[in-house]
């Protein structure tokens, strides 16, 4: 399944690590554009200005690890798209250019299913996609979930389930950590 990953899903560490882990396992083929990666960078810097170098390094690493993931969008295609928020047209244009089957975003209201269906694309929330994989590949997802938590520092008071809930993955948290 070819999956466009929106910046709002790349920004939080846990969903990003899980989806990229799914790519490493051959469950998805990730897609994004340079503009989506730039939105990810700006979002991190807006919230954590001290992490500018870190996010730049993370972006360089994903570009190296997934060299075919970055797609070039057509300005004319983007201009012809209609979405509730015009600022999201570039995301749909990237999904179309990359031949995406799904567009994974936290902003489902900005990507109406009927609009995306015209291009054979299904809008999906990260929790929904990852829960589907947890059901079809439980051992893989359990391993990826534990790996995604391994880098958490100073989080002795945070349980794995609460970390996943905080990352916007409550149903996945329940499925994996119950």
CB 23 within 8 A of CB 29: yes
**Residue 64: exposure state from Cβ atoms within 10 A (0-12, 13-18, ≥19):** exposed
99 sits in the region (left: phi over 0; alpha: psi -120 to 50; else beta) called left
pLDDT band for 1, please (50, 70, 90 cuts).
Answer: very high
Give kind and range of the element (H or E) at residue 45. helix 34-47
Q: Are strands 102-104 and 122-124 parallel, antiparallel or unpaired?
A: parallel
Token pair 């919230």: residue: 47
Q: Where in the chain is the domain with CATH 3.40.50.1010?
A: 2-126
For 121-174, how does the pLDDT look when each residue is reduced to its tens digit (9 = 90+)?
999 999 999 999 999 999 999 999 999 988 665 556 788 899 999 999 999 999
Token pair 């990237």: residue: 94
Q: How confident is the model over 10-39, as a mean pLDDT?
A: 97
Q: What is the pTM of this model?
A: 0.94
pLDDT band for 89, please (50, 70, 90 cuts).
Answer: very high
With a pLDDT cut of 70, the percent of the chain lying above it is 97
Task: Map residue 151 onto helix, strand or coil.
Answer: coil
* Domain range 2-126, CATH class: alpha beta
pLDDT band for 178, please (50, 70, 90 cuts).
Answer: confident
Beta bridge pairs of residue 73: none
Distance CA 140, CA 58 (A): 23
């Amino acid at each position: 399944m070819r999956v466009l990953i929106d910046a709002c899903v790349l920004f939080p560490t846990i969903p990003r690590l899980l989806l990229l882990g799914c790519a490493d396992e051959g469950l998805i083929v990730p897609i994004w554009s340079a503009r989506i990666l730039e939105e990810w960078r700006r979002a991190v810097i807006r919230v954590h200005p001290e992490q500018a170098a870190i996010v730049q390094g993370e972006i360089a690493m994903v570009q190296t690890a997934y060299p075919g993931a970055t797609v070039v969008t057509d300005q004319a295609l983007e201009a012809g798209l209609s979405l509730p928020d015009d600022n999201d047209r570039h995301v749909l244009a990237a999904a179309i250019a990359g031949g995406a089957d799904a567009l994974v975003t936290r902003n489902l209201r900005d990507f109406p299913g009927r609009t995306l269906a015209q291009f054979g694309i299904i809008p999906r929330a990260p929790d929904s996609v990852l829960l589907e994989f947890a059901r079809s590949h439980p051992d893989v997802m359990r391993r990826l979930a534990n790996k995604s938590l391994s880098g958490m520092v100073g989080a002795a008071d945070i349980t794995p389930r609460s970390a996943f809930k905080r990352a916007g993955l409550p149903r996945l948290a329940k499925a994996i950590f119950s």
